[in-house]
Amino acid sequence: MKTIVIGGGPAGIISALHASKSGDEVILLEKMNSLGKKLLITGKGRCNITSSFPMQDFISNVPGNGNFLYSAFNQFTNKDIINLLEKEGVKVKEERGHRIFPVSDKSKDVLDALLNEVKKAKVKIQTNTKVERILVENGKAIGVEYNQKDRMYADKIILATGGKSYPVTGSTGDGYKMAKELRT
């Protein structure tokens, strides 16, 4: 199976890792010239990685009905991300309010660890690739259109383009439009 992941932030990187571990050939498309630009500015450059609260508390702190996250939060927990980072040599510490940070206080160490994992998983990375549209045939996503003219096809598409804040990090809300188009 071939999987295309759209967006190289933490969500796209972790999705790519999991798709690759499940045996897929994975290509990650990122519109900026490098991955994880937003991750680098998190926690004022220190990256508040996660919290040590039980996962049930994560769900109850989601505004509205957080229960839809139950399955995802149980399949990849705060302990899983800590283990993944520690495997790559990133030690973590707990601060006031149950917040978990890298001991180095450098978000770059977190990003480098994720990129190293992606490299080991043999995920292909294509930067400077702005996806504009998800191609659909007979009600199924079959590929993407990018950089205004090119097309790429796959069995599965993962949309991980993040939200809409700090445009210089690539966060411009493109995914909202693409997701909305899938409903029409």
Give the whole-angstrom CA distance, residue 116 versus residue 55: 27
Q: Which stretch binds ligand FAD (CB under 6 A): 18-26, 57-65, 79-87, 162-170?
A: 162-170
Quote the least distance from Cβ 105 to ligand FAD, whole Å.
Answer: 12
Place of tokens 């040599």: 89
For ligand FAD, the binding residues in 61-120 under the rule CB under 6 A are none
5 versus 24: smaller Cβ distance to ligand FAD = 5
Assign 71 to helix, strand or coil. helix
Question: How many whole angstroms from its chain centre is CA 58?
Answer: 18
Q: Would you state the structure tokens that stand for residue 29, as one six-digit string?
A: 């498309």
Is 177 in contact with 169 (CB distance < 8 Å)? no
For ligand FAD, the binding residue among 7, 20, 90, 110 (CB under 6 A) is 7
Is 166 a binder of ligand FAD (CB under 6 A)? yes
For ligand FAD, the binding residue among 4, 5, 8, 27 (CB under 6 A) is 8
Quote the least distance from Cβ 48 to ligand FAD, whole Å.
Answer: 3
Q: Would you state the structure tokens that stand for residue 48, as one six-digit string?
A: 């508040």
Is 19 a binder of ligand FAD (CB under 6 A)? no
Question: How many whole angstroms from its chain centre is CA 31?
Answer: 14
Is 160 a binder of ligand FAD (CB under 6 A)? yes
For ligand FAD, the binding residue among 30, 109, 113, 118 (CB under 6 A) is 30
Assign 20 to helix, strand or coil. helix
CA-atom Rg of the chain in angstroms: 17
Is 17 a binder of ligand FAD (CB under 6 A)? no
Q: Which amino acid is at 54?
A: P
For ligand FAD, the binding residue among 60, 61, 74, 165 (CB under 6 A) is 165
Is 43 a binder of ligand FAD (CB under 6 A)? yes
Is 123 a binder of ligand FAD (CB under 6 A)? no
For ligand FAD, the binding residue among 5, 16, 26, 47 (CB under 6 A) is 47
Give the whole-angstrom CA distance, residue 172 versus residue 168: 8
Q: Would you state the structure tokens that stand for residue 39, as one six-digit string?
A: 């991750």
